[in-house]
Amino acid sequence: MDIKQVRETADRLFGKRHQFMSLCQELAENFYPQRADFTSTHSIGEEFAGNLMTSYPVLTRRDLADQIGSMLRPTNKPWFHMKPSDEDRETNDAKRWLEQAEKAQRRVMYDKRAMFTRCTKEGDHDFAAFGNAVESVRLNRNADGLIYRCWHVRDVVWMENDEGENEFIARRWKPYARDLANLFPGKVDPKVNDKARKEPYFEMDVLHIIISADQYEGDAQGKPYWSIYYDCTHDKPIEMVPVWNKEYNISRWQTVSGSQYAYSPASIVALPDARLIQSMTYTLLEAGEKAVNPPVIVTQDAIRSDMGLYAGGHTWVDNEYDERLGAAMRPLTQDTSALPFGIDMQRDSRMMISEAFFLNKLNLPERGPEMTAYEVGQRVQEYIRGAMPLFEPMESERNGGLCELTFDQLFKMGVFGSPYDMPESLQGADIQFHFESPLHDAIDAQKGQKFLEAKQLLAEAIALDQSAAAMIDMKVSLRDALDGIGIPTEWINPEDMVEEIIEQQQQQMQQQQMLDAMEQGSNVAKNLEGVNIEA
């Protein structure tokens, strides 16, 4: 494609998703009113949730989004780890290098200027409400660190290739004329520079496009992507440069075949109940108001003033009216027996919304003092089966994409040192990220439990047959169990060091046995000499 076709492709993608924007608007109005500007605009000071009767659907979305961050990216401990895809390359030296790289990457990500926490927090709420979150990772202006940004789903479109990878990403951007001129000095249209001087805060219409190198004409110099900034106001490109990565991480929760856009299984399932609970709450409020302040039947021409239906209010009645004809003003009889039934229905809707947002599956099962190891294991297995649909896409789509983009940027910046200083086993290896979460903690903790169960079984078997002790390699199983329960690598000696220690211990035992034998022989000789002398 040439630059004209690239621009036309972006416009076509934006034009084809009107129905999806309408769906996102409906989801936002019910679950995320702050983001309800897909098909409408917000004004400053607008009351976002003015159309809602109850805040419960909004609270469930907020709770799920907060749980995503606290459970998948806890700030009080390292939550990501690097490992080579080939386990044979995972030597002790490789582990130590990767752990140092993890610490360096964590420092960069949680640098205040990087705004990582702000970006991921915004992305978590988009992910929970709409099933899509768009975040970018790139160098800051000074090229001395990274900056993370979360972009509105409304402003970004993307297209997949035949392998399901996003090969075309376009983002609508409205920078100020001043900022655009400063970001691309000497590259923008002269009219932009004039705007920057006369109206520095005039909003420009710009497209940022990431396209794979094989889809765009031009020499990419061996790099896999092109980064294109296009000035839509003046219909001309600003910058076209080949880049190493696609900058954007588009995390998607639940996808369906035939669409590059994902959906939130939580908000889609909860949407009917969210609409229902708003109507029910309105009806219950209205019924409650009528029960407390019922409609009043007024006799015609008997009332001489406004009716004071407030507490302590007075109503003036014509003194010539004869009360024997009936009260001048009397309340309408109300039947409130159905109110408890409506409250029960509202409670049921709340429960359904909570389950739709997986709030009943986030807590680890409690372990009672009377529970056996088998019972604990079964409850953990039940938790894993229930939580897997929630954590699995989040780890790979949200955490995985951000960490991989960050690692690529930092590796090319030389933050991890020279590539030649890497352990030989890691050179040319594919580095993958593994994450800590309650789900993985539960899975890995089972290794320690399995080790204890194996120990009990082995003890029972040895009592029957001593040769059963040779069935399990205790060093390998213990090392795997220690790694599963999260013991740091620095606490565990490398395998070659362990072999040296074992060899030294064996040599010491052999030497001690020789000394004991020599001492025993010397004692025997002394005893024999004593016998000869007495003889």
Break the chain into its structural domains and give their ranges: 296-331, 373-491
Q: Is residue 229 scored above 80 in pLDDT?
A: yes
Residue 80's contacts (CB-CB under 8 Å, 6 or more residues apart) are 102, 105, 106, 399, 403, 433, 434, 435, 436
The tens digit of pLDDT for each residue in 117-169 reads 999 999 999 999 999 999 999 998 888 889 999 999 999 999 998 888 889 99
Q: What is the pTM of this model?
A: 0.76
Reduced to 3 states (helix: H, G, I; strand: E, B; else coil), residue 224 is: coil
Q: Is residue 71 scored above 70 in pLDDT?
A: yes
Residue 498's contacts (CB-CB under 8 Å, 6 or more residues apart) are 475
Report, as an integer, the average pLDDT of 313-328.
Answer: 66
**Distance between CA atoms of residues 379 and 449, nearest Å:** 13
Going through 384-488 in order, the beta strands assigned E by DSSP cover: 431-435
**Token pair 């219909």 in the structure block, residue:** 235
Binning pLDDT at 50, 70 and 90, where does residue 461 land? confident
Binning pLDDT at 50, 70 and 90, where does residue 285 land? confident
528: left (phi over 0), alpha (psi -120 to 50) or beta: alpha
Binning pLDDT at 50, 70 and 90, where does residue 427 land? confident
Report, as an integer, the average pLDDT of 259-285.
Answer: 90
Return the higher-pLDDT residue of 220 and 534.
220
Distances in whole angstroms, Cα of residue 204 to Cα of each of 143, 173, 175, 305: 25, 8, 6, 61
Return the higher-pLDDT residue of 478 and 83.
83
What was the pLDDT predicted at 149? Answer: 95
Return the higher-pLDDT residue of 79 and 386.
79
Contact 64, 416 (CB under 8 A): no
Q: Is residue 464 scored above 90 in pLDDT?
A: no
Contact 133, 150 (CB under 8 A): yes
Residue 30's contacts (CB-CB under 8 Å, 6 or more residues apart) are 52, 57, 58, 267, 271, 274, 275, 278
Q: Is residue 230 scored above 90 in pLDDT?
A: yes
What was the pLDDT predicted at 322? Answer: 67
524: left (phi over 0), alpha (psi -120 to 50) or beta: alpha
Q: What's the token pair of residue 412?
A: 């090319």
Q: Is residue 279 scored above 70 in pLDDT?
A: yes
Report, as an integer, the average pLDDT of 187-205.
Answer: 92
Going through 146-287 in order, the beta strands assigned E by DSSP cover: 146-151, 156-160, 166-173, 206-212, 225-231, 236-243, 248-252
Report, as an integer, the average pLDDT of 181-199.
Answer: 91
Residue 61's contacts (CB-CB under 8 Å, 6 or more residues apart) are 31, 32, 125, 128, 129, 266, 267, 357
Q: Is residue 353 scored above 70 in pLDDT?
A: yes
Q: Give Cα 60 distance to the centre of its chain.
A: 16
Contact 101, 78 (CB under 8 A): no
What was the pLDDT predicted at 520? Answer: 74
Return the higher-pLDDT residue of 293 and 34.
34
- % of the chain at pLDDT higher than 90: 36
The amino acid at 91: T
Binning pLDDT at 50, 70 and 90, where does residue 449 land? low
Binning pLDDT at 50, 70 and 90, where does residue 283 land? confident
DSSP for residue 220: -
Distances in whole angstroms, Cα of residue 23 to Cα of each of 10, 29, 513: 21, 10, 81
Binning pLDDT at 50, 70 and 90, where does residue 451 land? low
User: Which residues partner with 317 through β-bridges?
Assistant: 303
What was the pLDDT predicted at 532? Answer: 55
Distances in whole angstroms, Cα of residue 58 to Cα of each of 27, 29, 188, 238: 10, 9, 43, 41
Nearest to 133 by CA among 186, 65, 87: 65
**Distance between CA atoms of residues 484 and 472, nearest Å:** 18
Nearest to 125 by CA among 262, 33, 23: 33
